[in-house]
Every structure is written in C-alpha cells, then in structure tokens.
Structure 1
C-alpha cells in the first residue's frame, strides 16, 4: 500500500465553489445576477445558489445572508473517491479536520476542515452535473449552459485570495496536505513570505494567501471570476459605473501571474475581482517557484496606476478599529 501522503499532486482536481457572506443579501444577489450575470439555481435557508455559465457543477457561488461580510466555506473537488480519502487522512493527521457532512445541493458526502489560519474548507468527490432547463439549454452540447447575455456575463469562478496571519504556513498546508504547488510568491527583505499563489492543475493559481496587516485570522481579500475576453473587463468597468458599483482599482495588469484585472466591491462589502487571462497555463512538472522581491513589488503593477492603499488594507469581515490606549 502506498504511503498516505505519497504523490499528492493532482489529487485535488479544481476549485469547486465558494460561499460568500453578506449583510446585504438582496443587494448582493442583484449584483451577482444582474450585474455579473450569474444564474440562480436554487435556495435553502439563508443561502442562494448561483452559477456561472461555463461551470459544469450545480453552483459556483453560495451566497449566504449573515451579520457581516466575509468568506464561508471554500469547496475543492477531489480527482477520485480514493484521492478524497487520502486527502482527508492527510488533513486529519494535521489535526485540522471537522468531519463529514451531507445535504449540500448538488454534492455527495463532503468533508469539512480548516486551514491553519481558520478558513473553512470542504473536500468532495461526488457531484451533480448541471442540467439546464429548456430556456438555458446551449446550442453546443459541450457547453454547460447558454450564455446569459446579461451584465458582465462572467464565464467561471477562478480563484480565492485569503488574508492570513502567515501566508507561508497556509501555502505549505495546501502543498503538503492537498497536493498543491506554489507557482509564485513574494519575499520581503526581512525574509518573510508575504504572499503565495498556489495551484492544483494547469491553471497557474487557485488559492492565494497574503499576509493580513491587521494580524487577524480567517479573513477574505477577494474572490475572482474569469471573463471570456480582456475586452469584457473594460465593459465591466462601464457596467459597474452605470450601476453605482464601487470600483476600487483597475483595469490594469498584474505583474504577478500577468492577469488583466478590475476590482470592485459588491454591496455586502466583499471585494470581487474580474480577471482575464486567468493565470498562465503551467505544463512543466518541475516548475520552479517564481519569487518576487520587495523592491520588485514596490514598482506596483506591470502597467497601469500604482496599487492603491486600500488594496493592502481592505478585507472582510472588517476589523474594528483598536481603542486608543
């Protein structure tokens, strides 16, 4: 029998869906459906399930009414039943497991756990393929759903960027327990790793960790949706403007991962990125992590305006200001 942690690469197939918490559920739902172009696919309790037109599963986003903003559970699909069991065992050996749960629409048994920073995560294998109703049936059978022709029309859920006390500790967990790999990172002059971009398959990043300047744990920097073209990013800026959506920064181009981007705040206060291309494709099995220095990052983006201060300070849920003393 192979060693439980042996060859964990590719045992996580991809990022499945993410849960976003919002204190403004009706306004947030309007944003994701009418402005971004997602499609509703059911509701349960305080949650609404939404999907992008090119994701193949039941939902891409679980939008949950809550007292404050932030990220709920992030779900990762394993590459097989056996791979799921091996990754669950690896998580449990690290003392971060919560346990098995059932009942989530579109999913079979789901294993819940936390990363070292406390973010809630899930692993699953069994999933329901989306079967569109007649009015959403695409002309091409290899497409999950007809293009909605509404708002930005985002194509798929792309990645999640978490804030954490220690980016490297969480990136290490993703690599060692889940079989991910660090594609790019930032190393400060002090030697501290302040950010890591990790991936599971050929897309160059799926989960990102950046150090939280407040020293808090379990917060969100942003979730990201891929658009079909770079021109969609420019159109998204006009759509956001016309709908009173706050544009934080962009459109610009990142140096790290070379992503063309726009960052906005949805009505619940969470940062949402629209991105294209969604990371480079990495084919090299022996990829060497690209490390950016503090001086290199001080230059800001590849091109566009300098990174604004809120990009380094805004996260959800908000952190109450410290009392003087």
Structure 2
C-alpha cells in the first residue's frame, strides 16, 4: 500500500483551453470569484482565494476546448527527481520546462492516454496586494465579495480510452492511492478515484465511451459549504450559465455537487467534499458494481445521459 503522504504533495494547477477566452474569464472571475494574477501571451492566470501558490488555473485561448496541462507539486526537490526517475523507467519520458510564472522547473510528461502531466517543486508563495490583504495572517488572500467564492481547485476527472493503464500510471509511477472504483460486469474498470493526500480523491479516470484519448470530463472547485453550491446554482441560472445536473449528492465519494458548462464548453463541477477525509493508512479500495451504479446518485437522482457523452474537446 502506497503511503498516504508520498512524493506528490498535492494537485497544483491546471491549464484549460477555451475557444471563448473572454467568456471563460468572465465565468471564472465573476461567477466563481477567482482572481486574475497575470497574463502571458494568450493565457490568463487565475487563483482561488485560499491557494498559496501563484495560480490555480490557467485559461488559454485555443481553437477548441479541453485540458492541456495538469500540474502536481512534489513534496521536495528529492521527491521530484525520484518521480522523474520512475516516470522515465516506466517509459513516460518527458522534458524539462520553465514556462509558467511563479513556478520553477517542471518535468512535463504524459499518462498513457496522452494527458499532459507536469511535476514541479519550486513554487512562489502568493503575496496579496493591499486591496486583497486578508484579515487573518494565516490566509493568503481575502475572500472575494462576489460570485461563489470557491476555495480551491479540488480535483481533475480525465476521460480515458483505458482506465486501467492510466490509473496504474498514477498509482505506480506517482504514488497515488485508489479509494473507489467502478467495475463493470465484464470485469472492465470503468472509473477509478485516486488520492495523493488525505482527501478522498485528487485525480479521477472515467472511461471515454468513444474510445478517444486525452479528453477531459471535468475539473472541480471546492466550496466552503453546501449552501455555496445552492448559491452557485442561482448565480448560473440568473446569468445564463448552462446547468447540466444537480445540486445533488454523489453516491461514490458522497460529494455534494453541481455541474455546469463554462462558456468555452468545458464541464466544471462545484463540489463540497470538505467533510470527508481518508485518514486510514489501510483504506480498502471500495468497488461499485454496474448494477449499483445504475441506481443513480445518493438520493435517487438518475445520472443524466450527457454526463456519459459530453467531454472536451468535443468529438467531430
């Protein structure tokens, strides 16, 4: 069993591609309450109020939607190089880059499906300007006075042509622990939830029904309370943001959720998983069957069809 706190400290940030940069920027700043913290070329760097690093999310103008990079912070310089060595030994050879503000050298590689994964150690701690200074010195930034006010980037859910091989990469090369999974009647692993921390999950792989590679299911931002998610639903309704499903509660992982599509087409989850932690070092992998998943979500809501078919970039 991989230790709960290993060489990967936590999910750092992601880069989303969008064909509507202005619309996406409006959504993440006005509706979700992220703060802009710099621009480089066609990219805008944004941060949640409780993130200690330079940015939580990068939005990059592109011909289509999807995810370009998922960055994971190592727990030390030595841990970074251990994971790089393991990645190269597993045939996941990458390259070194220094192309993000506030972040030191990144080792950029990919999972078997082609999703770009970057590992790094050096990170610039955020110093809030006077207008964003918090009232408490142990908080990096004042809470936003508008929008949902999401607290942090919580997790990434990748679509994959083969869940098993991709989840194995995250477990065996990067040291994550699997906490829950879906196994179909034919024995195929259709989804697996994995964690680097004592959160119940940081990375998820879900089977792509189309067999395509490298697509995104969603990224998720955590809120302080369930009531914040109800507020998010009202804000999205009032501002014409498409609500796909929820608010409701997942059976798997018990997360209270709302799924919406941001203007660029990427699915975004607002979630409140803060009360559920995996503290047991010998946590058993919980397996859900095909019949159990057919029952829907925790309180009986049936899973909407688009939840299985919508991914980014969209299929031709």
TM-score (normalised: structure 1) = 0.95
Unmatched segments (≥5 aa) in structure 2: none
* Aligned position for 2:217: 221
Query: SS at the partner of 2:94?
Result: strand
Listed as ranges, the matches of 1:146-185 within 5 Å are 146-185=142-181
Match among 18, 30, 34 for residue 22 of structure 1: 18
Equivalent residue pairs, number: 315
Moved runs in structure 1, 4+ residues, more than 3 A? Answer: 6-9
What's the offset of the Cα at 1:9?
Answer: 5.4
CA contact (8 A) 2:224 2:274 kept: no
Q: Distance in 2 between matches of 1:305 and 1:178?
A: 35
1:46-71 deviation per Cα after TM superposition (whole angstroms, max 9, x unaligned): 10000000011000000000000000
Which residue of 121, 124, 133 corresponds with 1:125?
A: 121
Question: What is the rounded CA distance, in whole Å, between the counterparts of 1:238 and 1:98 in structure 2?
Answer: 43
- Seen in structure 2, the aligned counterparts of structure 1 residues 304 and 133 have a Cα distance that, compared at 3 Å, is farther
- CA, structure 1 residues 143+59, in 2 after alignment: closer, same or farther (shift >3 Å)? same
Cα offset for 1:103?
Answer: 3.2
Q: Which residue of 2 aligns with 1:298?
A: 294
Among 78, 85, 92, the residue aligned to 1:89: 85
Structure 2 SS opposite 1:258: coil
Q: Is the 8 A contact 1:251 1:304 kept in 2?
A: no
The runs of 5 or more residues in structure 1 that have no matched partner are 1-5, 321-325
Query: What RMSD, in angstroms, separates the aligned Cα atoms of the two structures?
Result: 1.2
Match of 1:45 among 19, 41, 44: 41
DSSP 3-state at the match of 2:233: helix
Q: Partners in 1 of 2:149 and 2:22 — Cα distance?
A: 19
Deviation at 1:277, TM superposition (A): 2.2
CA distance in 2, matches of 1:30, 1:194: 34
Contact persistence 1:17–1:59 (CA under 8 A): yes
SS at match of 2:292: helix
Per-residue CA deviation, residues 229-283 of structure 1 (Å, 9 max, x unaligned), is: 0000001000000110000000010000000000000000000000002472111
Distance 1:315 1:168 in 2: 19
Matched, 1:12 2:8: yes
Question: Against the structure 1 CA distance between its residues 132 and 9, is the aligned structure 2 distance closer, same or farther, given a 3 Å change threshold?
Answer: closer
> Deviation at 1:298?
0.5
- Give the 3-state SS of the residue equivalent to 2:280 in structure 1: coil
Contact 2:4 2:281 in 1 (8 A): no
Match of 1:98 in 2: 94
Please give the alpha-carbon distance, in whole angstroms, between the structure 2 residues aligned to 1:7 and 1:203.
13
Structure 2 counterpart of 1:31, from 24, 27, 38? 27
Work out the CA distance in 1 between the residues paired with 2:10 and 2:175. Answer: 11
Q: How far, CA to CA, are the matches of 2:147 and 2:51 in structure 1?
A: 17
| Correspondence for 2:285 among 283, 286, 289 | 289
